[in-house]
Amino acid sequence: MKFLEQPPRFLFFTGKGGVGKTSIACATAIQFAEAGRRVLLVSTDPASNVGQVFGVEIGNRITAIPTVQRLHALEIDPQAAAQVYRDRIVGPVRGVLPDAVVKGIEEQLSGACTTEIAAFDEFTALLIDPALTSDYDHIIFDTAPTGHTIRLLQLPGAWSGFLDEGKGDASCLGPLAGLEKQRAQYNAAVQSLSDPQRTRLVLVARAQPSALREAARTHTELAAIGLNRQYLVINGLLPAEEAALDELAAAICKREQAALTAMPDELRALPCDHVALKPFNLVGLPALRQLLSSPIEQAAATTADGQVKFDAPSISDLVDDIAADGHGLVMVMGKGGVGKTTLAAAVAVELAHRGLPVHLTTSDPAAHLGETLHGSMSNLTVSRIDPHAETERYRQDVLAAKGAKLDAEGRALLEEDLRSPCTEEIAVFQAFSRVIREAGAIFVVMDTAPTGHTLLLLDATGAYHREVARQLDPSGVRYKTPMMHLQDPKQTKVLLATLAETTPVLEAASLQADLRRARIEPWAWIINNSVAAARPKSPLLRQRAHNELKEITAVATHHARRYAVVPLLKDEPIGVDRLLELVGRVSEAV
């Protein structure tokens, strides 16, 4: 493996949720330790399962891994770190400022940016303090900071003063209020990150267009701030020999090769390794030792082909209940890469197929799905919101309104704040809100929705509510804002999309908790691309199907009030016929 050759002291593994970066980081740590090196494995992933992988309780302390000599691990709890931040900043003003103001500050400090910056605060010492890490030859980090976070930490100026004077909207600057005293420490940490003699960044992706696009975005963003020493790992490639055993396996292999052929140009120049898909769960030392083996070595060990009895609701079952209302808003939410755009289209097509009027609206940058559906089905209209255009419009509006009175330093802070993921979510949500009112008469199916944090931030600051109120007739007519629509279960049904894998399920559960804070109760979960529901014949895929059952059971019995399972299809679900196929029932034996 190229990324293992002549490794520097620090290695960072980053990538979308569910691509396998934790498993690869753990396997790398084992390989180094068993080669005689002293290794510290550090996780900053909010959904960390490093302890579960090794079968050891780790937590926020350096812990020896009993089964691997010379290997220690540390799980930094980003949520706990973020809570310390909130207490540090909110504590002094609690009881001094009005409750509404305090609530707004707390929500400013509840988002992903706070969590990431707080985690960065925790592990910077590991990068720059020799006393803490002198016992280790290598320090391996599972989950690296984004370019946005690093740029924030590099910015000049008095963050606390910027916030105290009310110059910014603080969707991401809020967490920086407590960091001013540690500026020198952060500068040293960023220098370490950008030194290729000390640090190597490994981008982990799957052979899927969305995962490769995300890897390309991360590469470009980090290279722009000096983190140029990057490697690419394509994880989970189905071995070619499986294609001869199963039509589904053959289709997967074909899709993966097409994705690799169309890989973004910026990734092609990077040193690249391929890691074969394994039939087993990557938990425990024997499994991790095999992860970085060659496909030939692992193929000899993959002989499981037992039958899986599988019975689960389909999307059609969910649509039965949705259709009974006659109209309403259906929001499909989830982390990137779980197929929420396709699921939104499938729900919309099924509703229209039943003779109900439907408006499908999406902010998916890949507009080919909307073009495929447009005009191809009665009762269905499709619109596409351009997130880049909406975000730029929103940025210019904020800069014009708030930036005009700022000095150069304050404007730089505001401009960086407006590059955060929260900004795009707010801008797209405002565009979506223009079609929400249609849900009073027809079905509106909405793809790519904002997180609960973004919705709460809008609500807590009152910005959107005040804007609506200003536009109302002064006679005091009753009104309902988009946020109120989302909180009304009679008006809105939120569908959480996920995959039958550990990390995507944990991320969906985190999103559900986030939405509940915003008083939005998810109506159902949809488990997408299930191998267990696809009735595979390939021995490797059959074992993968067995492995999915634990996660499907967790969703059905613990996380969701109602759920559906969508099989992994041989043909990609593009076009009305294939989307209707995706909606169908999946209650046969695998």
Neighbours of 237 (CB within 10 A): 18
Active site residue 23: yes
Per-residue model confidence (pLDDT) at position 164: 46
Q: What are the residues whose beta carbons fall under 8 Å from the beta carbon of 394, sequence distance 6 or more?
A: 418, 423, 426, 427, 430
**Confidence label for 163 from pLDDT (cuts 50, 70 and 90):** very low
Asked if the structure places residue 406 within a domain, the reply is no
**Is 20 annotated as catalytic?**
yes
Of 54-68, 144-158, 303-317, minimum mean pLDDT range: 144-158
Number of helices and strands in the chain (H, E): 26, 15
For residues 100 and 3, give the distance between their C-alpha atoms in angstroms, rounded to a whole number: 50
What is the rounded CA–CA span in Å between residue 460 and residue 479? 18
Count the residues in the chain. Answer: 590
Confidence of residue 206 (pLDDT cuts 50, 70, 90): very high
> Helix (H, G, I), strand (E, B), or coil: what is residue 42?
strand
Residues 242 and 377 in one domain: no
Active site residue 21: yes
| The predicted structure's pLDDT at residue 261 | 95
- Whether 323 and 250 map to the same domain: the answer is no
For the record, the structure tokens of 278 come out as 């394994």
Residues 86 and 235 in one domain: yes
pLDDT at 561: 94
Span between the terminal Cα atoms of the chain, in Å: 36
Residues of the chain with pLDDT > 90, as a percent, come to: 33
Report the alpha-carbon distance of residue 540 to residue 300 in Å, rounded: 11
CA distances to 111, 143, 201 from 227, rounded to whole Å, are 25, 15, 8
381 in catalytic set: no
Whole-angstrom distance, CA of residue 325 vs CA of residue 328: 7
Mean pLDDT highest for which of 12-21, 161-170, 429-438, 533-542?
533-542
Provide the pLDDT confidence category of residue 48 given band limits of 50, 70 and 90.
Answer: low
**How far is 21 from 15, CA to CA, in rounded Å?**
7
322 within domain boundaries: yes
Q: Yes or no: say if 193 and 199 are a contact pair by the CB < 8 Å rule.
A: yes
* Weakest-pLDDT range from 28-42, 104-118, 214-228: 104-118
Out of 240, 273, 299, a domain closes at: 299
Number of domains in the chain: 2
Average pLDDT rounded to a whole number, residues 215-222: 86
369 inside domain:
yes
Please give the average per-residue pLDDT across 54-71, as a whole number.
89
Amino acid at 87: D
Q: Is pLDDT of 232 > 80?
A: yes
Give all strands of the β-sheet with 71-75 in edge-to-edge order. 63-64, 71-75, 39-43, 138-142, 10-14, 199-206, 230-237, 272-276
DSSP conformation class of 449: P
Q: What is the pLDDT of residue 169?
A: 47
Question: CA–CA separation, 78 vs 86, rounded Å?
Answer: 12
- CA gyration radius for the chain? 24
Last residue of a domain, one of 273, 299, 325: 299
* pTM of the model as a whole: 0.76
- Within a domain: residue 395? no
Q: Provide mean pLDDT across the span 286-295.
A: 79
Catalytic residue among 14, 15, 16, 18: 18
> In this predicted model, what pLDDT tens digit does every residue of 460-484 receive, in sequence order?
544 444 444 444 445 555 556 677 7
Q: Which H/E stretch holds residue 119?
A: helix 112-128
DSSP 486-545: HH-TTTEEEEEEEESSHHHHHHHHHHHHHHHHTT----EEEEEEESGGG---SHHHHHHH
Q: What is the CATH number of the domain that holds 361?
A: 3.40.50.300
Q: Are residues 193 and 336 in the same domain?
A: no
Place of tokens 């609206």: 361
Give the confidence band of 298 by pLDDT, cuts at 50, 70, 90.
very low
- The C-alpha atoms of residue 210 and residue 259 are separated, in whole angstroms, by 9
Shared domain for 465 and 575, answered yes or no, is yes
Q: One of 15, 43, 44, 45 is an active-site residue; which one?
A: 45
pLDDT at 371: 58
Task: Output the DSSP codes for 220-282.
Answer: HHHHTTT---EEEEEEEEPPGGGGGG-HHHHHHHHHHHHHHHT--HHHHTS-EEEEE--SS-S
Q: Is there a domain that residue 391 lies in?
A: no
Residue 46 pLDDT > 70: no
361: enclosing H helix or E strand: strand 358-362
In a domain, 326, yes or no: yes
pLDDT at res. 166: 46
* Catalytic option among 22, 114, 143, 538: 22
Q: Determine the average pLDDT of the residues in 386-398.
A: 87
Q: Residue 387: what pLDDT?
A: 83
Selection from 207, 236, 230 nearest residue 147 by Cα: 230
Whether residue 485 is predicted with pLDDT greater than 50 in this model: the reply is yes
Confidence category of residue 160, pLDDT binned at 50, 70, 90? very low
Bigger pLDDT: 125 or 389? 389
The Cα 258–Cα 254 span in angstroms is 6
Evaluate if residue 250 carries a pLDDT over 50: yes
In a domain, 403, yes or no: no
- pLDDT exceeds cutoff 80 at 417: no
Q: Are residues 335 and 239 in the same domain?
A: no
Q: What is the mean pLDDT of residues 369-375?
A: 57
Q: Which of 14, 15, 17, 20 is catalytic?
A: 20
Q: Are residues 319 and 172 in the same domain?
A: no
Owning domain of residue 196: 2-299
Which of 527, 517, 570 has its CA nearest to residue 548? 527
**What is the C-alpha separation between 540 and 304, in angstroms, rounded?**
7
Do 370 and 261 lie in a common domain?
no
Residues 276 and 321 in one domain: no
**Catalytic one of 14, 23, 44, 363:** 23
| Helix, strand, coil % in the chain, rounded to nearest 5 | 50, 15, 35
pLDDT value, residue 533: 92
Q: What is the pLDDT of residue 353?
A: 93
Q: Give yes or no: 503 in active site.
A: yes
Sheet-wide strand order for 524-530: 380-384, 358-362, 443-447, 328-333, 492-499, 524-530, 563-567
Listed range (159-173, 376-390, 515-529, 552-566) with the worst mean pLDDT: 159-173
**What is the overall mean pLDDT for the chain?**
80
**Selected residue with higher pLDDT from 120 and 147:** 120
Pairing state between β 71-75 and 63-64: antiparallel
Q: What number is the average pLDDT over the span 236-247?
A: 90
Give the separation between CA 209 and CA 335, rounded to whole angstroms. Answer: 15
Confidence label for 178 from pLDDT (cuts 50, 70 and 90): low
The residue annotated as part of the active site, out of 44, 124, 314, 503, is: 503
Looking at the fold, whether 184 and 247 belong to one and the same domain comes out as yes
Alpha-helical runs (H) found in 403-501? 408-417, 421-436, 452-461, 463-471, 482-487
DSSP secondary-structure letter at 94?
B
Residues 319 and 292 in one domain: no
Structure token pair of residue 351: 């509703």
Contact 526, 566 (CB under 8 A): yes
Shared-domain flag, residues 471 and 377: yes
For 474, the token pair is 């002064």
The residue out of 272, 299, 326 marking a domain boundary is 299
With 0-12 / 13-18 / 19 or more C-beta atoms within 10 angstroms meaning exposed / middle / buried, residue 269 is: exposed
Residue at 569 is within a domain: yes
Per-residue pLDDT, 348: 94
Residue-level pLDDT at 262: 94
557 burial level (CB within 10 Å; 0-12, 13-18, 19+):
exposed
